[in-house]
Amino acid sequence: MKRIGIAVTDPEDWTGMAFCRAVRHYDMQPVKFSFDEAISNIASGKIYAGSVDLNALDAVIVRDMGPATNNDASFRFDILCQLRENGALVINSPESIARAANKYVSSYLFQKNGISTPETEVTSDLKEALSALSCFERAVVKPVFGYKGIGVECVRNDEKGVRRLGELFGKNKLLYIQKFIQNPGRDIRVFVVNRKVMGSIYRFAPSGSLINNLSQGGTAEPCTLTEEQERLGLKAAEVIGAVYAGVDIMEGDKDYVIEINGTPSGRGIFGACGVDVTMRIVEYLNEVL
Ligand SMILES: Nc1ncnc2c1ncn2[C@@H]1O[C@H](COP(=O)(O)OP(=O)(O)O)[C@@H](O)[C@H]1O
Ligand SMILES: [Mg+2]
């Protein structure tokens, strides 16, 4: 029986559990492990996570890479590359997870490939950041490696905003500053699996917040995409190289791709639309394995 590793930190995570069910559905054996417990022994070449021998897996599905400092993040990425070198199928590919996790790289790839994305400046020079803010008038500042809306803030080109940008620069030294897109208080999360759109949801921010992430109290409702939104979702997943992805689109004066998530949660779309994306992901895995 094929052994399918599921990298997940929280054993109760909805998506992690759904992946396990889906793997069993296709008569394969799910093996959960957490990157928190990763050990690699150089002399023997053995790679373990707790008691799980990662080299014995036929495939790895990455639900999450786990909370990590910079060293950890690259170690985990390297382990995935090594497992793949040793013959395991890894989805999403380590490279696509890394591109999606890095907002600088994904913005650059969107722009380069004709995917409309908000004007963005990334800089280690506070003066440059302030001049971008004065062009944008209203901007969103984000960590380059952020997720779940953590650390995303809106700043205006006024005294308070300029002060705040200075504070953020003091902490970060690298600022990712993006034009604020006037929007209807929601964004769209498009789920792509193997070059098809599986479904999409609107995510509404809780009142008084600009962040629509469901993990920050946002709510989900089913959404029907326009052709253009569907095209943007598919194209974004393609240029990042992700087999499956959650693409965030904001409806402003036109549609903009805000970001792409290479390890998205399947819970919101299941709740709102009854679509279990983990089933479709494992179906794909089962086909190519
Ligand atoms: N340029 C923007 N204009 C307006 N709102 C934004 C913009 N960028 C992000 N947001 C809001 O902040 C949320 C989090 O930003 P996002 O780039 O998706 O980061 P994360 O990786 O933390 O989810 C988005 O879902 C959206 O609600
Ligand atoms: Mg997001």
CATH 3.30.470.20 location in the chain = 183-283
Q: Which ligand is nearest to the CA of 213?
A: 1
**pLDDT tens sequence across 240-289:** 999 999 999 999 999 999 999 999 999 999 999 999 999 999 999 999 99
- pLDDT confidence bin for 71, thresholds 50/70/90: confident
Joined together, the tokens standing for residue 233 give: 């979702």
Phi, psi of 119, deg, nearest 5: -60, 135
- Computed over every residue of the chain, the mean pLDDT equals 95
Q: Which CATH superfamily is domain 183-283 in?
A: ATP-grasp fold, B domain (3.30.470.20)
Q: Does domain 3-91 have CATH number 3.40.50.20?
A: yes
Tokens 């290479």 — which residue? 262
Q: Find the mean pLDDT for residues 66-95.
A: 92
Q: Can you state the percent helix, strand and coil of the chain, rounding each to 5?
A: 40, 25, 35
- pLDDT confidence bin for 215, thresholds 50/70/90: confident
**pLDDT tens sequence across 34-59:** 999 999 999 999 999 999 999 999 99
Q: What pTM, to 2 d.p., does this model score?
A: 0.95
State the first-to-last Cα distance of the chain, in angstroms, to the nearest integer: 12
CA 185 to ligand 1 center in whole angstroms:
11
How confident is the model at residue 67, as a pLDDT? 84
Instruction: Identify the residue whose C-alpha is closest to ligand 1 atom 14.
Output: 149
Cβ–ligand 1 distance for 218 under 6 Å, the answer: no
CA 267 to ligand 2 center in whole angstroms:
15
**pLDDT tens sequence across 121-158:** 999 999 999 999 999 999 999 999 988 899 999 999 99
Instruction: Identify the residue whose C-alpha is closest to ligand 1 atom 11.
Output: 211
CATH 3.30.1490.20 location in the chain = 120-179
